[in-house]
Every structure is written in structure tokens, then in C-alpha cells.
Structure 1
Amino acid sequence: MSDESPLIRSLRTAVAAVPDDVPLRLHLAELLLDAGQGDAAVGEAAVALTHAPGDPQARALMARAVGGPVAPVTQAPEPPVTQAPEPSVTQPPAGFDWRAAEQEVGDAVPPRFAATGDTAEAVADAPAYDIEAPGRIRLADVGGMQEVKDRLEAAFLAPMRNPELRRLFGKSLRGGLLLYGPPGCGKTFIARAIAGELGASFMSVSLSDVLDMYVGQSEKNVHEVFRAARAKAPCVVFLDELDALGAKRSRSHHSGLRNAVNQLLVELDGADGDNEGVFVLAATNVPWDVDLALRRPGRLDRTLLVLPPDEAAREAILRYHLRERPIDSVDLGRLVNVTDGFSGADLAHVCDTASETALMDSARTGTVRMINTKGLLGAVRQIKPSTEAWFASARNVAMFANDGGTYDDLLAHLKRKRKL
């Protein structure tokens, strides 16, 4: 670079300032070629051709630099200018193969019309709700709560597991069960365990899946739920938060919701289809707000109180939520004794709170502090059981609105806990 002439250096500076000046760059390339710098000349000619691909001087200079013949540059003749015909609607020329043309452009142009016939019917028949395949969760996976399991076995599961006895006593392979109790006590998990015990598919339905702003659509949605369940029988239909989906019609000001409850009654009766193999489970925190017609015989006629976890269940829940956390000599027995009345969600909150406290202490001191019994007991003192508010309201219902002994099991529990 230091042996270059002052003219070449000046031209380099000029080309750097005006990089798209093709004649100037070609002049630099010619000087480089004359000075014996063929590679540099090829580079400059190549850049010139990127700016002017058809420039004859650039092509000739490139040919000289690489030592090849100069390719002649020919100018393509311009097509004659013709007047475009006026657009008109005419028939295609005779013999034009439309089918061949359609196949040729089929991959690039989407069809103009939706598919009909069998394809449309298949789309219409596709289930609108997610139905889970039979799961592996069983009642044995539910920690403790033996009384609940025994009642489920006697009142619901045993007849379903014994087809011979069921036929002998005229028991239909259908049924409805309402789970009620304080929030966060595992009603949904128990429903999944029942589906696992029955080897049945599982479909969870909430108010948002059913209620629609258009007239008649809510009833249609309820019908579609049961139609899909019948197609997948045996199937457990789990109606979550039944007090919202099946609220008392006398208190409902929404006509769509009242009509949805009416349709739900029709489906539970099997008036529009055979419900053999369809098991309806429902869960609610406030059964006294559920429409009474839903709890008549043949519908959700069996009721099961799901109470806060007992000692065995509390120990299982604590073990589960602490299983992947750094703990140090945690006294589970002591924790179980001081968490009577805590729901499963409350126990999970206790573990989360103790974990957050240990994390903050570790970050502040720079030394990892394990989760210990003291930290967990401190979290228990900070958290008030969420079930207390529920029992406060349920107590009045059990005492003064226990028509037909619906809440006898709740009254018995309150007496054992001396809350009456």
C-alpha cells in the first residue's frame, strides 16, 4: 500500500467519499491494473458491476483483470407497444382445460369456497369441549380423609364397580353427586380421583364454558356438553362452582342463566339422550345457593361434605409442598397439630411463606438458610385459616335451614368441634 502512487491514493480517497461513482471507480481499477495490482483491480471492477450490472466498460475491465475474453454486450430489442384491450366479460377460449389450470395453481391459490359434504359434517361433529382421557389419579392418592373415601365407596363407587349386583338390584349406570364444603379442601382433586377409580374420561365445565350473550346459545352449550360426554362414555362431567352455573332461578335476573339451568335439568334427566355411563359430579362452596330442582332424586341426589384435611391429610400435603425445597429437621408432627382447620390451600400458603422468608434471609446474609420448623411455625402464626369464615356462615344455614336433614353431616361436624 505504501508503494502506491499519489494518484492512486488520491483516487482511493475520492472513491471512499463517493462509493457509487462508477466512472471514478473504473478509473481507479484501470490504474491498479496498469500498476500490476490485478486482484485489487478485480475487486474495484466487481463493486462497479454491482452498481451498474450492464456497464460495458466495467465488463471489459473485469475481463482484462481476470485475463478472459470480453463478453459482448447486446441490447435486447424493446417489445412493440400495443394498446391493452378493454376488459370485458367473455367466455374462455374453446378447449381451455380449467381443471388442469386449477390443479397447477392449487398450491399457491387457496380455495374460494369452504368445503361441503362429509368434511363440513366432520367439523360440525367435532367436540367443542376438552375431554381428558382416563387418568391415573385414584382415591389412594388423596391423603387421609378416610371418612370421605368410605362414604364415596359405599354410596357411589361400589355400585358402579359391580355390574352384576347393579343389574340384580336395577341400579342404572349413572348418577349424580354434589361435593360441598369450604374452599381449598380438594373437591376438584377428589372428583378427578373418582374418575380414575371408574376408569372414566373427565370433562370439567364452568360457567364461562356455558354462558353466552346470544339468546339460545347457553342452552345449546349445555346440550353440547352432555352430547360430548355421551359420545365418550363412561365419562365424568364435573360441574365446577355449581352455585354460579346452577344458581337458584328465583334469584337470577339473567334470562340466559335461568334458561341454562332449565336445560341442565333436562340433560340430567336424560330427556334428550341416554345418560348411561355419564356420571355427573358437582362442587360448590355454597350449596344453599344451588337451585333446589338440581338436587331432586335422579339428579344430584347424593351430597358429600368435604371438610378441611384431617391429620393424615395435612401431613401428606405438607410433605408434598416441601418435597423439593431445602429443609432442615422439620417437625411435621408439631406442624400438623397447630394447623387444625387449615385447608389444603392454606397449608400450601404456609410452605410458600416460610420459603420466602428463608430466601430473603439468605439473600440478606449471603448464607443459605434452610427452611426449619421455627420458620414454618412463624408462617402458621401469620396465616389465618380461610375455612373459619365459611364455617361462620354455614353454621347458620345448618341450624336454621336444614330442611330434610340436608346438612346433618355439617351439624355433626360442628358439634364435634364445639362450634354450636
Structure 2
Amino acid sequence: MPETSPLIRSLRAAVEAAPADVPLRLHLAGLLLDAGQQADAVTEVAIALQQAPSDAEARALMVRAVGAAAPVEGSAPVETSTEPEGAATFNWGAAADQVKDVIPPRFVEEPLTEPLTTDGSGDPDGSPAWDVDAPGSVRLADVGGMREVKDRLEAAFLAPLRNPELRALYGKSLRGGLLLYGPPGCGKTFVARAVAGELGASFLSVSVNDVLDMWIGNSERNMHELFQTARRQAPCVVFLDELDALGGKRSRTQSAGMRNTVNQLLTELDGIDGGANEGVFVLAATNVPWDVDIALRRPGRFDRTLLVLPPDAPAREAILRYHLRERPIEKVDLGKLVKMTDGLSGADLAHLCETAAETALLDSVRTGVVRMIGMKDLVEAAKQTIPSTEPWFASARNVAMYANDGGMYDDLVAYLKKRRKL
């Protein structure tokens, strides 16, 4: 079978579209081997083995593709008790050397050679390494739609920063952070990165796993080191993801360590002195703001909230364009698709595009002819996609009705009434 056969070309395209599909890659490798393309077959099998090292079919195909390597001088004999038949005479070390320029190493980090310190961190001084991203190119203009979110950010956060003279004239304080809340998968992290881009500031994203530590006192130290890093990198946007996990209500917390971590966060937000947090802008995100400790919501801390809702029509169009931009599509009616996807989150829309691509890929594998992703694939995928935001709105409705103290969730109430969900 020549390399230019339609089936091999189709399988190559299918593998490129689904690089994690090991059986599909092995099928391509077998055809390449039958066509006399040994080097290409070895490459495909090596990638498959990187993803599934214990796959018996992949190992057997590698033996067939590379052949039994000559024993390496001074090497120990290969044990045969646990290997499949045919593997006893195969030198896997020699095979790895042969394909080392084709595939990257399976592990990026070198093995830990330093003994663990008493706090279990493996770092001689115990200090965490925070990855601070340089000022990015993402701006609010890159966020599709979401006009209300942008206007609120401009009024509460960005306009005072851009106009220091007017800020001084009106006595507008920049103390306090901004809390983004709403259903999952609606772009809260992307909005935070866009704010950092607008400010030309570094970006430091933090999750609960970055801070919490099993050793007593380490979580508080991690929290302090986080803010110290941000102060050294100022101007810097600190983004605390899942704030309810880092700053949950202390009255519901049984762990003294968690309560101390919340106390440390409160201390860092206030700053050691009046100018400690100059140039440090703190944003946070949560799906459940009603579970955040009330002390974090008082003025001077996270006293400004912003509801980030499922994308509106312009935002959905931008998201769909983004996820389809490098896929083979034809005759896609985005306007119709946007109308069909009302209520879907950004994550739902990404899943929709992935499902449509999967359908077209499987058809191409079955028929042996690569076809484009059409409107029919996208419509069927849209019908199968259930909005992942519905459970969130079900619980948020109760909060909006019975726990909207001081009008904290007025924007949520307005949205639910508009959608006739309240």
C-alpha cells in the first residue's frame, strides 16, 4: 500500500485531530509498516507508548517495527517472567535511544535528589516558588460581548486607576478587591487576565492547592509569601481562584489550620501598613459567594462584587468562532447556532465544538475519506449539550429569594427575573 493512499492520508488527519487516541495511532502505524515506511511507523508507535507504556499491542508493534536490537555491551540480560511473548529479546533501552529525537521525555522534571526538609516541601528553605506571568496581551476588547461586565469593571476598577488626578480630586480609594462570582465555566479567569492586561500588570493566579499545606503553619506562610511576591512584582494582579475554598466561613470550619489561613488572608489584604499593597490589585472568583467568610466581604477587602453570567449572543459568537477557527468546517451558520445555544456557558460551547469534531472524525475513520465539519454536526451537538449552569441557578435562586441581605445579590435577582427563573 503506497504512502499516498487515501486511507493513510485520512488516518493521518484523524490522528492529528485526536492525538490521544492510541488504537487509532497504532492502526496507522500498522498500515505504515505494511507500506514499508518503517521510520514513520516507529515514530507513531513511540508516541503511542509514551501515552500507554503498558499497551501490549503497542509493544508488539514496536518489536515488529524496530526488530530485536543487538545487545548493548555490558548490559544485564532482560528478565522474561513478566513480559509478553516476544519482548524477552527486545532491548527497550536501545529502542528509546533510537526514537529520543522524535518524542519528548515522558517526565519534564528530574527526580528529586535533595532530601525532604522537616516541613515536607523538598525545598531547603521551604519557600514556595510562585509563577508570576509577565504582562499579557489580553485586553477587555478581546472578551466577546459581556458589555455589562466590562462597564462595571470600568466604573469600579479601571477608570479610577487610569485617572489618578480625578481619583485624588474625588477622594476615590483603590483599597479593596473585586470578587467575581457566577456559574462555573463562564470566563471569570479570562476576565481577570484581561484586567491584568488592561493595567499592564503581572498576573499571579493562585488556587487552594498552591496555599494549603498539611504541616502546621505552612499554609499561613505560603499565603504571606504569595503577597510578598506580588508586592515585589508590583504592579501585579493577584487572582485567588475558588475563594470559598481559601476563605470559607470560619464558623463552619472545624480545622484550626483553615481558620488560621483565613486570618492570614485577612491580614495580607489589609497590608502590614498603609502602603504595603501599593500596586497590588486583588481579584477573586467563586461559584458560591454566600460561602465566603463575611469578614472578607467588608469594606476595604472584597467589598465590590461582579456577577459573571453565561455569555450573551455576541460572546457566544466570539467563543464559537474561536473554537472552530482551526477546524475544517464548511457552510456553518453562526447566527443560527448562536440562537440555539442561549444559556450555555463558555465551557459548554467548547464541548459542543469538540463533540461536532468527534462526530466528523469518526465518520472519516469509518469511510476512509476525510470530510468537513458541517452545520448538521454542530446542530446535533447543540441538541445533546445540556447547560451545565442549571444546577448553579437552582441553588442561587434560593439565595436570591431568602438571603439577599443588603441587596448584595440584586444583580442576580434582576437576571433571574429577566429569565423568568424567579
After TM superposition, is the score higher than 0.5? Answer: yes
User: CA 1:127 to 1:218, structure 2 compared with 1: closer, same or farther past 3 Å?
Assistant: closer
Cα shift at 1:291:
0.6
Residues 176-325 of structure 1 mapped to structure 2, 5 A cutoff: 176-271=177-272, 274-325=276-327
Match of 2:336 in 1: 334
Distance 2:325 2:389 in 1: 25
Q: How many residue pairs align between the two structures?
A: 298
Residues 12-411 of structure 1 mapped to structure 2, 5 A cutoff: 128-271=129-272, 274-411=276-413
Distance 1:324 1:216 in 2: 48
- TM-score, normalised by the number of residues in structure 2: 0.69
Amino acid at match of 1:353: T
User: CA 1:362 to 1:125, structure 2 compared with 1: closer, same or farther past 3 Å?
Assistant: closer
Distance 2:340 2:263 in 1: 46
Distance 1:311 1:249 in 2: 40
Quick check: 1:173–1:277 contact (8 Å CA) kept in 2?
no
Distance 1:354 1:234 in 2: 42
Deviations 1:106-155 (A, max 9, x none): xxxxxxxxxxxxxxxxx969873111111111000001111110111011
Q: SS at the partner of 2:198?
A: helix
Cα shift at 1:276:
1.2
Deviations 1:256-275 (A, max 9, x none): 11100001001111136611
Quick check: 2:175–2:300 contact (8 Å CA) kept in 1?
no
Amino acid at match of 2:369: T
Q: SS at the partner of 2:329?
A: coil
Amino acid at match of 1:149: K
Alignment root-mean-square deviation, CA: 1.5
Quick check: 1:187–1:306 contact (8 Å CA) kept in 2?
yes
Quick check: 1:178–1:302 contact (8 Å CA) kept in 2?
yes
**Bigger Cα displacement from structure 2, 269-278 vs 244-253:** 269-278
Deviations 1:302-353 (A, max 9, x none): 0000000000000000000001111110010010001000000000000000
- TM-score, normalised by the number of residues in structure 1: 0.69
Deviations 1:224-279 (A, max 9, x none): 11111111111111000101111111111222111000010011111366111111
Cα shift at 1:176:
0.3
Amino acid at match of 2:154: E
Distance 1:153 1:124 in 2: 42
Q: Percent identity over the alignment?
A: 77
Quick check: 1:180–1:285 contact (8 Å CA) kept in 2?
yes
Q: SS at the partner of 1:280?
A: strand
Cα shift at 1:168:
2.1
Amino acid at match of 1:301: D
Distance 2:279 2:171 in 1: 15
Distance 1:232 1:170 in 2: 26
Quick check: 1:330–1:373 contact (8 Å CA) kept in 2?
yes
Q: SS at the partner of 2:172?
A: coil
Q: SS at the partner of 1:260?
A: helix
Unaligned 5+ segments in structure 2 are 1-123
Q: SS at the partner of 1:175?
A: coil
Quick check: 1:305–1:410 contact (8 Å CA) kept in 2?
yes
Distance 1:203 1:192 in 2: 9
Unaligned 5+ segments in structure 1 are 1-122
